[in-house]
Amino acid sequence: RIDSFTDPEGAYHKQHFETHCTAMVKPIPGDVVAGHTTWTHYGEMDRIYKHYRFNYSVSKAVEYSFSSKFGYMFSKDDFWVTSMGLVIMETTNSVHDQSLYDNVTPKSLLTWQRCAIASRMAGSAQQWVETFAKHFSGTYSNQWMALSPMQGMVDSSFWVYEETPGFNHWEDMSATVRDKGYWPSYNIPYFKYMQDVTGYTEMCELHGSDYCYDECPRATIFQRDALHVTSLEDIKDFLRYNDWQNDPLSLDNPANQISARYDLRTQNPSSYGGIDSKATSGRMASHQEAWAQSGPSHDDETVFCWSDGDVNGNAWTEEHVGQPDCWDMDWEYMSWNGFH
């Protein structure tokens, strides 16, 4: 176990390579949009957008769609849209207080099982978090967002749930989104209680802004840019955002962007970062539709190609069986009728 409080290098690796993803919820004129960018190793860029139908008599949602990969019956990114019009997303948080792992118990359900069950059983955002919270393990320390965008941002339309081994907390955050104008998610717990128990409060005090909810690089990018998102096209652009050379908030680091590009770092480059983005709206979610784009961000950066090697001229060593060489993909429209 890494002692994050006394090992800043180990804590940095944990925060940057063991936490995943950026997500956003944003009311726009006449609708609500939501989107998610998966962060992980580029060797996992083989993506499948899946549609499942389970005609169980006890299910409220007999269908759901989600971004995923080969061999998975669940998302793990996570990004789900159910036939009840719910949008479910998550981003991962670190566990900096290692003593929390003593709370792990086998008398629980795995995270992916609870997510799939809650997505079938829930008819509302509140029902989703209350179902998901049952028998929790905390072994996948996350912030979960459950949204019913067809309702607009009325009370109880948007719930946020956070868990870590031994502790969980959830609240209706609809009023917060109405007041603030958006919801950001970027690998730091929102609730002060969860920041304290996971060790983020102490990490913020000891090691600075990377661990501070309102001060980390992506937090400042949200604060600057989120209110400018007023359409579905805007959130698609935001989710793919990486212009680190020209963005002072990046602190000269291509990893400090909404869709990270660790492969562009000159010091210790890594085939890691944002590997896809997904976006939907209330109107689209009512039909289980979404937009999705695979591969590292290339709106303002070079297209990632395995054959190019890293910026220092070294070949990539990560396995990437079945992948194309270059990831110059466009957005695709995902629906039960196929994609285009």
pLDDT (average), residues 280-305:
97
Please tell me the CATH code under which domain 8-339 is placed: 3.60.60.20
Phi first, then psi, for residue 37 (nearest 5°) are -115, 120
pLDDT at 9 over 90: no
User: Of 62-76, 267-281, 301-315, which gets the smallest average pLDDT?
Assistant: 62-76
Pair 292, 336: CB distance under 8 Å:
no
pLDDT, tens digit, 9 for 90 and up, residues 79-99: 999 999 999 999 999 998 889
- Single out the residue of 81, 79, 119 nearest to residue 277, CA to CA: 79
Q: Return the amino acid letter for 272.
A: Y
Q: Return the amino acid letter for 32.
A: V
Q: Tell me the three state secondary structure of residue 288.
A: coil
Kindly list the domain boundaries of the chain, sorted by start residue.
8-339
Integer Cα distance of 60 and 63 in angstroms: 9
pLDDT at 202 over 50: yes
- Single out the residue of 58, 55, 61 nearest to residue 84, CA to CA: 61
pLDDT (average), residues 320-334:
97
Q: Return the amino acid letter for 293.
A: Q
pLDDT, tens digit, 9 for 90 and up, residues 107-150: 889 999 999 999 999 999 999 999 999 999 877 899 999 999 99
Work out the mean pLDDT of the chain and round it to a whole number.
94
Predicted confidence band of residue 1 (pLDDT cuts 50, 70, 90): very low
pLDDT (average), residues 233-255:
98
- Sign of the CA dihedral running 242, 253, 328, 293: negative
pLDDT of residue 116: 95
Q: Return all residues near 153 (Cβ < 8 A) that are at least 6 apart.
A: 27, 32, 174, 177, 178
